[in-house]
Structure 1
Amino acid sequence: MACPVKHYDAAQDGEQLDDEAGMLYGEYLMLDKILQAQRLLSEESNKAVHDEHLFIITHQAYELWFKQIIFELDSIRDIFGVVLEEIQTLEILKRLNRIVLILKVLVDQVMILETMTPLDFMEFRNYLRPASGFQSLQFRLLENKLGVKADNRVKYNKNYTKVFGNDEEALNKIEESENQPSLAILVERWLERTPGLEVEGFNFWGKYENAVNLLLEEQKQNALNEPIESLKQYRLNDLEKRREVYESIFSSEIHQALLNRGERRFSHKAFQGAILITFYRDEPRFNQPFQILNLLMDIDSLITKWRYNHVLMVQRMIGSSQLGTGGSSGYQYLRSTLSDRYKVFVDLFNLSTFLIPRSYIPRLSPDMRSKLCMWSNGVEPNGVTGNGKCGLEIEDNGFEEDIV
């Protein structure tokens, strides 16, 4: 058998740069501060509890990731804060996707804490009082910057700011985050500018309402032809309920009433824009906006999953009846935060309620098709400068162009 050849790697004998001017790894990351920031109260009481170290490290990691999410969120809000150019949507997508990936890490991080048993946690839990995750300033700022409304919060000690006592710096940051336009508000304004909603132009909303009426009428005729009476009535009743559901978006008054009750979040026009983008997501100009809407739902979903995993962990550690270390009802309070009231982009989740078959979606007019194929910088993907039109043929989906 041939002897293995030993390869010489000259790079391993290269000159070391330890003496080069500048900061080293530990200095750049300020590891002397970070790695000494774990203060074990059980150790100070001469009753060192092994798992307290894990508890501290995990929550410090959460706070560092919260800081990064807020950093990304603020930059996205800055971009949305001006009239958004299509060329900027790629940067928004990149940063939203980064937030999504970080949230996935946070969801999985709960499992690390679950390697600690309830008895292990009980050994040092009393040292935590009155500290509580409810006092995480960064998480409250994150919620506000996303768009969680104060009226939708589960009431705790009258107002969630009470836990920060007289900490003026914290209270000022919270007030500032409440008064600045949230991501939800900025996205709403962006959706209201969706091309194709203008009545004097393509008038998507008018065409969409006619398409829905046509679909429901055809289904009604099919139901009336049903020979079995009980099945006929069932289908007719179901159609009537569906007609009422559609009416809730076609009637601006009903939509506003739902908005006032907190059952909807977006304005009527923004809601229309979201539906339009969803229907025509394959058009070049709407492809990235559709991805943005999906990532916003991903953020809501992952925060809900994180809350849910946290709830299960708390129930596992302290049961369903013990109070939290900060004085809340513990598991009961946390479970109450899992409802849709904490979903910022709940309207996007509900868009599926109002979808119609592809064959009923109004076809684009030549002018609208041209607008949706237009690249904002006038340069097509192949680098050819011109009017930016796709040059695609308009496919006939069975609808006449003059449906209004």
Structure 2
Amino acid sequence: MKKNIEPCYYGDYLQLDKILGAQHLQSEKYGSPAHEETLFIIVHQVYELWFKQVLHELNSVIDTFSQNQVRDQELITVVHRLHRIIQIQQLMNDQISVMETMTPQQFLSFRDYLVPASGFQSIQFKRLEISLGLKREYRIDFDKQSFYNRLEERDRALLENLEQKPSLFELVDQWLCRMPLLKKDDFDFLDHYEKATSELLEADKQTIENNPTLSDKERYQELKDWQATRENFDALFDEQKYVALRGEGKFRLSHKAMLSALFIKQYAEEPIFNLPFQLITALTEIDEKLTIWRYRHAMMVQRMLGTKIGTGGSSGHHYLKKTTESNRIFLDFFNMATFLLPKDMLPELPPSIKRYLGFYLSDEGK
């Protein structure tokens, strides 16, 4: 291990003079300093530091998936770094509790001095969203319209350039499409899966029709919901139907990527699929933590401002609440549970398939 030649001093290494001297209160410019403004600044500065680390991890993952091939060793590192992001997200979610020690009146003592500054202008958070896959076309209308108009030109140019690059969602979709799954030799997963799901859905329909506790109105609604589920299942076996539903926003993954992810989830206990399964699970959890962060942020804003507008001009709590469910990225991985079958209904993978996949996904097969 190499050693330093010059001594390293703690404060100099961390540049604490810069960090600890970076809290400048707006309220001081107009009168007495507001005590709680220091907390407000530090909490948001800490968020930005964590955003920087998350982007550092996320960019390394994107670089890995930008390759034509992703080896198992690289996938181990990817999953590890995604888990680190998840732990950072948990810290950021917990940090909201510190902000909530501030009362609404304490916040109002300096809030108006911040206009028109807003979380809209966190370039790192926007980079994080775009890099994950939340590009402008997937945002709710207000967010889509105001996404860039509160930014300085250099920041707008940076984000618009990032929008043109493949996001992690897009790269993972392409990676899933490249996996050699589903059908080989005498093994046809989709054929077996279609028969099994038909039996399962028909049994569900019979349960609804023969349930004596349901009123006619309730039975009608449940059968209507059953039909919608049936159509989603049918789309798995008909690419044209799937593309049509995807165009309506019911799916975001491509047809082949959806089938590959479903196959991985169904056979997650197989060693060859364990790392891909961990990857899918980690991306699901990142989306969940981000949704929780949005929700807690929305609740905190409602607690502080009620129905007042935000400092950036949005509808405040109402806007943040809408983004909680609308600005999702890996929602398909959540909804995939709809299509999972019980283990006893799955065909066992033939030894030839296991050998083939093991060879294909190994270094020798590449």
Both structures adopt the same fold (TM-score exceeding 0.5) = yes
Match of 1:303 among 282, 290, 302: 290
Larger radius of gyration: 1
Match of 1:256 among 243, 251, 274: 243
Alignment match, 1:286: 273
SS of equivalent residue, structure 2 residue 192: helix
Q: Provide the C-alpha distance between the structure 2 equivalents of 1:303 and 1:184, rounded to a whole number of angstroms.
A: 15
- Residue 139 of structure 1 deviates from its aligned partner by 0.7
**Percent of aligned positions with the same letter in both sequences?**
42
**Unpaired runs of at least 5, structure 1:** 1-19, 379-386, 388-404
- Residue 234 of structure 1 deviates from its aligned partner by 5.1
- Residue 32 of structure 1 deviates from its aligned partner by 1.0
CA 1:21–1:244 in structure 2 vs 1: closer, same or farther (change >3 Å)?
Answer: closer
Alignment of 1:3-402 (within 5 A): 21-82=6-67, 83-156=69-142, 158-164=145-151, 167-198=152-183, 202-216=187-201, 237=223, 240=227, 242-320=229-307, 322-339=308-325, 341-372=326-357, 376-377=362-363
CA 1:127–1:190 in structure 2 vs 1: closer, same or farther (change >3 Å)?
Answer: same
> What TM-score, normalized by structure 1, do the two folds share?
0.81
Aligned residues: 355
- Residue 194 of structure 1 deviates from its aligned partner by 2.3
Q: Provide the C-alpha distance between the structure 1 equivalents of 2:207 and 2:142, rounded to a whole number of angstroms.
A: 53
CA 1:372–1:45 in structure 2 vs 1: closer, same or farther (change >3 Å)?
Answer: same
- Residue 155 of structure 1 deviates from its aligned partner by 2.8
- Residue 156 of structure 1 deviates from its aligned partner by 3.2
Q: Provide the C-alpha distance between the structure 2 equivalents of 1:223 and 1:303, rounded to a whole number of angstroms.
A: 36
Name the structure with the higher helix share.
2
Higher relative contact order structure (alpha carbons within 8 Å, sequence separation ≥ 6): 2
CA 1:343–1:369 in structure 2 vs 1: closer, same or farther (change >3 Å)?
Answer: same
Q: Provide the C-alpha distance between the structure 1 equivalents of 2:116 and 2:228, rounded to a whole number of angstroms.
A: 50
Deviations 1:179-236 (A, max 9, x none): 1100000110111122323466743223321322344456678889x69798999599
SS of equivalent residue, structure 2 residue 304: helix
Q: Provide the C-alpha distance between the structure 2 equivalents of 1:23 and 1:119, rounded to a whole number of angstroms.
A: 45
Let me know the Cα RMSD of the aligned residues. Answer: 2.7
Question: For structure 1, which segment, 75-84 or 153-162, has the greater mean C-alpha deviation from structure 2 after superposition?
Answer: 153-162
Q: Provide the C-alpha distance between the structure 1 equivalents of 2:205 and 2:229, rounded to a whole number of angstroms.
A: 11
SS of equivalent residue, structure 1 residue 162: coil
